[in-house]
Amino acid sequence: MTLPKGWKQVTLADIASKERNAIVDGPFGSNLKLSDYVADGVPVLQGKNITGNEFQWFDVRFISHEKANELKRSLVREGDILIVKIGSIGYSARINDLKGYTHALIPANLCKVTPNPEIVDVPYLLHFLKSPQSVQFLVSNASATSQPALSLEKIKQLPVLLPPLPEQQRIAAILDRADRLRRTRRYAAQLSESFLQAVFVRMFGGLISNPLGFPIELLGDICDVRDGTHESPSYVQVGYPLVTSKNLANGFVDLSEVNLISEEDYNKANKRSKVDKGDIIMPMIGTIGNPVLIEYEPQYAIKNVALIKFVEGSPNAKYIRQLLSGYYFEFLISRLNRGGTQKFIALDDIRNFAIPLPPLALQEKFARIVQQFERLRAQQREAERQAEHLFQTLLKRAFSGEG
């Protein structure tokens, strides 16, 4: 790659502080035992404190000051950069707040970098560590084991593209603005997720106590509740999707990693439980409580998935979908007292769900609000996608000399 005038390629070691242990990893496990932890003292950070390239202060443990002094080689301070060395390779973050503690310790799965601010702009370096070429180098140089690991030497050898300091600062400022836009879009989408549940409670009250005295009916008495195929058909390369619990998430059917079955098995499965537009489908095993209202004509069969069909006199489907998405569904599930490590619900459990039934006109008013909300949420998702695409595009261009 031809670099722009004034740019050069260096290593991470070249731009580290001149102080001792500017790039260092945590102590070996044998030097930091479970018995070393105490109620308070010097914080010990963990790999999980780096979440999505951000530093998060939670679930922090402590060791005594005496023990920390024994391991002082691996102490870190605010402003240092942490790189995941074992496990989730490719993630990094700057320590921005130690909650009043002057220093902390890192374990063996983290590496600390103290940059030299006379050579490298720290925000620029943080963005560079998120870039595709940086992540690719780290991932490709990790050991190919069930727990990928990087050596300290490989981290020190990470190639860094280094323009003049003013150019670094200009690039970092552009990427900071794009990153703020991306975060704002993501936060708006997160806020909108709680909106419908708040509207639901305001309109219908807390349905567990049912303060408005709505009549109660069993779901199986007001809807046609079925399950999918009980067969275990063979998978094929070309055919029809067989949707299972794993394909239902966040209110959508995800067909990106779905297994396919033959036309014969598809027709056989649909003789029992054909999914139609307007139905609700819901996982019965694993991550239960993720109902999906089908808004289009589907072409797939289902297995380990409940099917709720709305017959004449049934409640509004959007009302039922929301009821089975929130706190009331958790209340229903908690009463089943099912043991075992994997969550599941049986078809009879679903049929026997006690459903409060507000007046149909009120349900339909809620459905209209949902419809308006879904249009807004679609716009938010598109805005979030565009912001993410903009940031990734700028990130790629910035470190190819096109920033």
Per-residue pLDDT of the chain (403 residues; tens, 9 = 90+): 678 888 999 999 999 999 999 999 999 877 888 899 999 999 999 999 998 888 999 999 999 999 999 999 999 999 999 999 998 899 999 999 999 999 999 999 999 999 999 999 999 999 999 888 899 999 999 987 778 999 999 999 999 999 999 999 999 999 988 888 887 877 776 666 678 888 888 899 888 889 899 999 999 999 999 999 998 899 999 999 999 988 988 788 988 889 999 999 999 999 889 999 999 999 988 778 789 999 889 999 999 999 999 988 899 999 999 999 878 888 888 877 555 445 778 899 999 999 999 999 999 999 999 888 888 777 877 877 887 888 888 877 777 655 4
Using the structure block, give the residue that is written with the tokens 């060395």. Answer: 85
Both 49 and 62 in a single domain? Answer: yes
Both 289 and 370 in a single domain? Answer: no
Q: How far apart are CA 260 and CA 237, in angstroms?
A: 7
Cβ atoms 3, 401 nearer than 8 A = yes
Q: How far apart are CA 113 and CA 174, in angstroms?
A: 24
The pLDDT assigned to 341 comes to: 47
Domain-located, residue 48:
yes
Domain-located, residue 204:
yes
Both 178 and 225 in a single domain? Answer: no
Q: How far apart are CA 160 and CA 162, in angstroms?
A: 6
Using the structure block, give the residue that is written with the tokens 């694993």. Answer: 286
DSSP label at residue 72: G
Both 226 and 320 in a single domain? Answer: yes
Both 341 and 227 in a single domain? Answer: yes
Domain-located, residue 373:
yes
Question: 380-388: long-range contacts (C-beta < 8 A, 24 or more apart)?
Answer: 380/185, 380/188, 380/189, 380/192, 381/189, 383/185, 383/188, 384/182, 384/185, 384/186, 384/188, 384/189, 387/178, 387/181, 387/182, 387/184, 387/185, 387/186, 388/182, 388/185
CA nearest neighbour of 127 among 183, 164, 178: 178
Q: In terms of residue numbers, what domain contains 173?
A: 166-209+358-403
CA nearest neighbour of 355 among 227, 239, 218, 252: 218
Both 363 and 322 in a single domain? Answer: no
Total structural domains in the chain?
3
Going from the C-alpha of 181 to that of each of 53, 124, 190, 208, 381, the distances in angstroms are 16, 17, 14, 40, 13
Q: Which CATH number do you get for residue 269?
A: 3.90.220.20
- What is the distance of C-alpha 342 from the center of its chain? 21
Domain-located, residue 183:
yes
Both 341 and 286 in a single domain? Answer: yes
Domain-located, residue 273:
yes
The pLDDT assigned to 190 comes to: 64
Six token digits for residue 156:
């020190």
Cβ atoms 161, 399 nearer than 8 A = yes
Residue ranges with strand state E in 137-289: 159-162, 216-218, 224-227, 235-236, 240-243, 248-249, 252-253, 259-261, 280-283
The pLDDT assigned to 265 comes to: 94
Cβ atoms 55, 96 nearer than 8 A = yes
Both 126 and 197 in a single domain? Answer: no
Q: How far apart are CA 338 and CA 324, in angstroms?
A: 18
Domain-located, residue 22:
yes
Domain-located, residue 398:
yes
Both 230 and 315 in a single domain? Answer: yes
Both 205 and 342 in a single domain? Answer: no
Give the up-direction half-sphere exposure of residue 388: CA atoms within 13 A in the CB hemisphere: 10
Using the structure block, give the residue that is written with the tokens 């992540």. Answer: 135
Domain-located, residue 1:
no
Both 276 and 301 in a single domain? Answer: yes
CA nearest neighbour of 200 among 56, 321, 374: 321
Q: Note the helical H segments in 6-104.
A: 65-70
Both 35 and 83 in a single domain? Answer: yes
